[in-house]
Amino acid sequence: MSTAFDLSPLYRSMIGVDRMADVLEAALSSSADTSYPPFDVEKTGQDSYRVTLAAAGFSPAELEITSQPNLLVISGKKAKGEEGQRNFLHRGVAMRGFERRFELADHIVVRAASHADGLLTIELEREIPEALKPRRIEIGQASQQRLAGPEKARKAA
């Protein structure tokens, strides 16, 4: 069952949410197989995350991780030629190629990736640029010259 959502009210009442609305719209209308390969997303710290993807049967050479601004793409493609050498009576381990996309928030960067025991693990972290971090502004003392001006005006009146 597919339900259509009209997100145009977001564009009318909010500024700068067009990317968010596009992501939401794409997620709602996605018809791709979203169950293969299975994955976990976990928050490992205040600003750190981990994506673990089940990549059984794929070697590190057959996996590709691409990081773009606000997008992480993980794909796997089996090497050709291996299929003809094997004669399966039952095939239960899925070995088809895949592409999994993750929309990332601003300033999320990939820190590391590892492959062990059939699991691909990708470490992510929010890295806020210094210019965008909150900073404390010191409040200085008002100079005596600035205060002298209004006092003179009051004495003259």
Pairwise CA distance, residues 101 & 104, whole Å: 9
147, part of any domain: no
98, part of any domain: yes
Pairwise CA distance, residues 121 & 115, whole Å: 6
Pairwise CA distance, residues 109 & 67, whole Å: 8
Query: Does 75 score more than 90 pLDDT?
Result: yes
Containing H/E element for 87?
A: none
Taking residues 12-18, report their average pLDDT: 64
73, part of any domain: yes
As a 3-state breakdown, the chain gives helix, strand, coil percent values, each rounded to 5, of: 25, 30, 45
**Is residue 24 domain-shared with residue 73, that is, in the same domain?**
no
Contact 109, 124 (CB under 8 A): yes
> Which structural domain range is residue 3 located in?
1-31
**Is residue 82 domain-shared with residue 116, that is, in the same domain?**
yes
**pLDDT reported for residue 83:** 60
**Is residue 23 domain-shared with residue 97, that is, in the same domain?**
no
Number of domains within the chain = 2
39, part of any domain: yes
- pLDDT (tens digit, 9 = 90+) per residue, 22-54? 767 666 665 555 678 999 999 999 999 999 999
